[in-house]
Chain A
Amino acid sequence: MSVTPLRIFMTGVGGQGTLTATTLLAKAALLRGLPVTSGEIHGMAQRGGVVESTLLIGLKSPKIGPGEADVLMGFEPLETLRALIYLKPGGAVFSSTESTPPLSVSTGQATCPGLVDVEGRVAEVAGITGWYPCQSLGLQAGAAQAGNIALLGAVAASGVLPFGPDAVAEAITANMKPKIAAINLKALELGVEAAKA
């Protein structure tokens, strides 16, 4: 099957559900019959460190090198900025606006760039950008962790993926317990609406 290759790099903070979101997106792609590979880095990353994952359509390598990602999804703005090196210049960036500062920042021993600076820096190199208050959207849907799914909704609604939010919704329904699925479907919808707003 000939498919236009697409590489998505995802980044977030341990415990945010970055890997859950990655797997869900991979399942959505598989539901649409697309050749999909995803990759993730575990281990030390889980103790509050950075969690990075990848999703590739039409390609086999689970790893994305600098300048190779068509799409960058950041579940935390500082991590979006840190991962910008992976974005192909002119690529698409979708990110949460809501920060989870590292311990050094939250305890006042270091500073971290503000959202305006992050958005400015991203705008310099990205062709498409989308910024969403993901945790708030998640909370609105019923759980802060569902914020990731809101970001998936926004990305799927933007048209950069070879499938729409309907495929993500199907993957949620097929893979989650009804109660949790309901929250995530709501978050997905909020993300889709946010992207259209």
Chain B
Amino acid sequence: MSNPLIAGKAGETHLLLGNEAIVRGAVEAGVQFVSCYPGTPSSEVPDTFFRLSPEADYYFEYSTNEKVALEASAGAALGGARALCTMKHVGVNVAADPLMTLSYTGVPGALVLLSADDPGCHSSQNEQDNRYFARLGGLPVFEPASAQECKDMTRTAMALSDELDGPVLLRTTTRVNHLRGPVTLADAEKAPAPAGFQKDPSKYVPIPAFARPMHLRLLERMQRAMELAETSEYNTVTGSGTVGVVASGISRAYLSDALTLSGLGDKVKVLELGFTYPLPEQLVLSFMKGLTKVLVVEELEPLLENDLRVLVQTTGLDIEIFGKNTLPRYGEFTVGMVEDALRSVLGEAPAVRPVNPPEEGLPMRPPNLCAGCPHRASYLTTRKVFGDEAIYSSDIGCYTLGILPPLKSADLLVCMGSSISAGSGLSKATGQTVVAFLGDSTFFHSGMTGLANAVYNQHDILVVILDNKTTAMTGHQPHPGVEKSIMGDNESRVIIEDVVRGLGVTEIRKVNPLNQKKFTAAVEELKAKSGVRVLIAEEPCPLFARRAYGKKPQVTAYVTPEYDMSEGVMERVACPAFYQDDDCRLAVNELLCAGCMLCVQQSDNIKSKKKGDK
């Protein structure tokens, strides 16, 4: 059955996830080239492109990291293609180097960069506001607030990039990526085949002599973008009064609901900004005519607020601006918060909003490594050999969940790939024993450069590459080292062991961590050595193995009556398939057990049997 995201016709309405709507917007814009590195909350965009690629006309790739992804899309757009590149907010840090210069060179085709920000840190290490990048690099910005706008603005952003010959930022936040709403489709455009790269070093090679005029052309482009923002259909003024509200992104939804629910709608004049940068100054000035107060509703940083303050100061207006003195500079807003901010600016008392007190003392339900996860085995063994004294330098992936007791295998973490390089520096500066843990996808993302550095600079570190054959955390995306993806075999596999050897590492072991005896021996052997050592802990993620390898657990662990609770397997291994039965004895939930047999290797009194056997 053809998917409406590809084959849908104008006028059809579908309930779409924000991220699916972005895919449809790109398809409607005639996208030809899509590259990405996955990361929550952006992942459903590339995953949907990937899944639908057999029935679509675009080229799609999972790139090794965000810098590579953006450069690949840049190359395509320099050759005249319409390109979309997607990543989460911290990915843009990795891609910042090409981004800052792409706006100088411009792109004869079209290039839209999706930055999926995460206010509230739902699944990220920080809540940085990537609207700064647009100001730093010189990119027009669109910020949708509904599924329909996710589609429409992606399409418009692509058209704008085409028109201005420069990259455009589509900035979303978690709530927008992961909302669902009705989306009415338009027909998909068929873009002409890319014209091919036209040589012109003065435009595309930013040596200093060429870079200076490029900067002037960028400033001119941003001036034209501002003129287009003045009349954009996404920037609208409604209502009347002497108190104004300016809102952008998802804050527009909070504001709209606050006005609907509070009855304050007829007391304020509202400027909604969807095409948010460069600020349409004439529109803002005409909006502010007759206002005495303006409340700016934007999550995270006071960017629009500061722009407005500058505008008010330079034009000599007598308007009081409210923003971060009324609403927080961190986390997400709620409808209630926006309503109260509005009331405070209007001089009204905050709404009385009775709330049930939070329930105290409930047991938490933290996310956990799954039953059968090979990382549990890797952590258990490494800790057994290295103990509490070693410093465990962690990285970004499912395996960060090793932070939880009893495994406690994440002592420090900075960003993707930092396990090796930060671990190297730590060990050099302090002489402490460091074990770095990183996953297979993270190794290709930015672990390789750190490993080459460790070899060259003669660092002392044990690197455990947790190779579960997929990018598990973000939804089982492939990477260069995988054997399989949901689409079939990987025909151009890059073997991690070969890469490690090629980077100059001589002490390499590759062992399945579920084989505790062999794995323990390998860890002990490498512990006794110094310098850069690499242990590849190889075993597929069981969730992925079920999907891609068709591997279903055949056996289950069970606890014999001889097991003594003082053996402590439950406390040490902490598998989600464990429970205490009515007699307060350890038991294994056969439905949850993945048959990894890690616990069986911890006690002679835990045994295996075929699933279903008594």
Contact = CB atoms under 8 A, between A and B. Distances in A.
B559 interface: no
Interface stretch (B410-418, B499-507, B573-581): B573-581
Interface string B15-37: 10000000000000000000000
Nearest to B368: A48
Nearest to A38: B180
B335 A47 contact: no
Interface in B550-589: 570-571, 574, 576, 578-580, 584
A84 to B, nearest CB: 5
Interface residues of B, number: 56
B178 A68 contact: no
A49 B40 CA distance: 16
Contacts of A79: 365
Given A85-B357, A107-B574, A112 B362 contact: yes
Contacts of B432: none
Interface string B355-367: 1111100111111
B355 A42 contact: no
B570 A107 contact: yes
Nearest to A59: B257
Given A43-B122, A82-B362, A108-B584, A66 B257 contact: no
B174 interface: yes
B335 A110 contact: no
Given A38-B181, A41-B178, A5 B335 contact: no
Contact of B365 (A37, A102, A108): A102
A41 B122 contact: yes
B141 interface: no
Contact of B355 (A60, A66, A121): A66
Contact of A36 (B182, B250, B369): B182
Contacts of B146: 37, 60
A118 to B, nearest CB: 9
Interface in A65-110: 65-68, 78-79, 81-82, 84-85, 87-89, 101-108, 110
A26 interface: yes
A5 B260 contact: yes
Contact of B179 (A14, A39, A67, A111): A39
A108 B583 CA distance: 11
Contact of B364 (A39, A58, A67, A102): A102
A103 B576 contact: yes
Contacts, number: 169
A58 B354 CA distance: 22
Given A23-B15, A47-B401, A121 B359 contact: yes
B122 A107 contact: no
Contact of A61 (B254, B368, B580): B254
Contacts of A113: 362
A43 to B, nearest CB: 3
Instruction: Please report whether the interface of chain A is mostly helix, strand, loop or mixed according to DSSP.
Output: mixed
Contacts of A14: 367
Contacts of B254: 61, 63
A62 interface: yes
B178 A105 contact: no
A116 interface: no
Interface in B29-64: 40-41
A113 to B, nearest CB: 7
Nearest to B251: A61
A146 B460 CA distance: 53
A45 B398 CA distance: 11
A48 B576 CA distance: 9
B261 A5 contact: yes
A43 B41 contact: yes
Interface string B269-291: 00000000000000000000000
Give chain A's interface residue range (CB within 8 Å of chain B).
35 or more
A148 to B, nearest CB: 16
A39 B356 CA distance: 22
Nearest to A79: B365
A174 to B, nearest CB: 11
A89 B363 contact: no
A30 interface: yes
B180 A67 contact: no
Interface string A14-30: 10000000110011001
A2 to B, nearest CB: 10
A13 interface: yes
B353 interface: yes
Interface string B121-150: 011000000000000000000000111000
Given A62-B253, A104-B364, A112-B363, A68 B356 contact: no
25 contacts: A5-B261, A27-B15, A30-B15, A40-B179, A43-B122, A45-B367, A47-B367, A47-B398, A48-B370, A59-B335, A60-B252, A62-B250, A63-B332, A66-B356, A67-B353, A67-B354, A67-B355, A78-B363, A87-B356, A104-B363, A104-B364, A105-B363, A107-B580, A112-B363, A113-B362
Given A39-B179, A88-B354, 17 more contacts: A14-B367, A40-B178, A41-B178, A45-B367, A47-B367, A47-B368, A47-B369, A48-B370, A62-B178, A63-B332, A65-B334, A67-B356, A78-B362, A82-B362, A104-B363, A106-B578, A112-B362
Interface of B: 13, 15, 40-41, 122-123, 145-147, 174-176, 178-182, 250, 252-254, 256-257, 260-261, 332, 334-337, 353-359, 362-370, 398, 401, 570-571, 574, 576, 578-580, 584
Interface of A: 5, 13-14, 22-23, 26-27, 30, 35-50, 56, 58-68, 78-79, 81-82, 84-85, 87-89, 101-108, 110-113, 121, 125
